[in-house]
Amino acid sequence: MSSRLDSRSLALFLAVADTLSFRQAAETLHLSQPPLSRAIRELEERLGTRLFDRGTTGVSLTEAGRTLLPYARGVAKLLRDAEASLARPELPATLRLGLTTAVEPAWFAGLRDRIEAAHPGTAVSTVSETSPRLVRQLRGGKLKAAVIALPTEAAGLDVLELDRLPMRVAMSSAHRLARRKVVRLDDLGGEPVFWFERARQPAFFDHCQHVFTRHRFVPRWLKEPADHHVLLAEVAHGRGLALLPSSFAGLRRAGVVYRTLAEGDELAVGVGLAVPAGQHALRDQLIACLGIAARGK
């Protein structure tokens, strides 16, 4: 007697359940939407129950769908674990790794040496770029893996969050707020604040704008220099404040102090490891070299 469930059907179900969008799920799976919708309907017919409610306001899981979801995740994990157990432990002879410029370089300190020490047959080269450009290079096969800032649009890639870096405020040591240990966005209203252009990191830019809107934060925006040493020089001279991930606090500059931002966690930059879909063995080997317990692994 044939089973009404199979791994492919569960994978399709999970893709829709994770996005609650047939369109986004189809993009992730590299399918057109009609075959995906048809496959889900056929699965529902085999099971004799609806898994999704499809309405004008969107897609939601039915009670049956919510019941199936943890089992589907368990099967997917078993398959990943089985694949990883059979994977060759060696990395490629040459590993081209992308590193986001949204995180201060000290976060990556020693990474190349750790990878090469753990895999003596591998030569590692790194590329520092904005996360959207790293994603494009990864999709184009020019990189084997990339550490990117989150959120970043990365459909079709396997992305695992490794860390979250709260936003902090860099200001001149002579600034009126420099004596405080914690400042709020309300304290910065009307101040000149350096901020990056949307083209550099669209998804993260939009995320931050939502937070700013929610807190009615309206400073005087200044164009942020791409070079962070130039940016800190501007801050030291009192030309404006800067909102930066906490990793940048390691960049010391005379005349600049870093202060905790009360809303820093809301504006936090995620750090994720991105690899081509299905490259779980490569991902897990790199995570081991990073020495970080990945979130949600």
Q: What is the pLDDT of residue 2?
A: 59
If asked whether residues 23 and 152 sit together in one domain, one would say no
Q: Which pLDDT score is estimated for 246? A: 92
* CA 191 vs CA 158, 175, 232: distances in Å: 40, 11, 16
Q: Are 195 and 235 in contact (CB under 8 A)?
A: no
Q: Considering the entire predicted model, what is its pTM?
A: 0.65
Q: According to the model, what pLDDT value does residue 196 have? A: 93
Predicted pLDDT at 105: 80
* pLDDT score, position 86: 64
Residues 164, 82, 85, 157, CA torsion sign: negative
pLDDT at 16: 93
Q: Is 138 found in the same domain as 190?
A: no
Instruction: pLDDT tens for the chain, 297 residues: list them.
Output: 457 888 889 999 999 999 999 999 988 888 889 999 999 999 999 999 999 998 888 899 999 999 999 999 999 899 888 877 665 556 778 889 999 998 888 888 888 888 888 888 889 999 999 999 999 999 999 999 999 999 999 999 999 999 999 999 999 999 999 999 999 999 999 999 999 999 889 999 999 999 999 999 999 999 999 888 999 999 999 999 999 999 888 888 999 999 999 999 999 999 999 999 988 888 888 888 876 544 444
Containing domain of residue 107, as a range?
Answer: 94-163+270-290
Nearest to 195 by CA among 172, 169, 223, 236: 223
Say whether both 178 and 261 belong to one domain.
yes
The answer to whether residue 296 is domain-embedded is no
Provide the edge-to-edge strand list for the sheet that holds 157-165. Answer: 123-129, 94-100, 145-150, 269-276, 157-165
The residue among 28, 63, 86 that closes a domain is 86
| Contact criterion met (CB below 8 Å) for 159 and 273 | yes
Task: Please report, for the domain that includes residue 125, its CATH number.
Answer: 3.40.190.10
| pLDDT value of residue 108 | 84
Q: Which residues on neighbouring strands pair with residue 132, listed in sequence order?
A: none
Are residues 263 and 279 both part of a single domain?
no
Last residue of a domain, one of 65, 86, 107: 86
d(CA 137, CA 125): 14
Confidence at residue 90, expressed as pLDDT on a 0 to 100 scale: 64
Same-domain status, 175 and 144: no
The tally of domains found in the chain comes to 3
According to the model, what pLDDT value does residue 1 have? 43
pLDDT of amino acid 292: 54
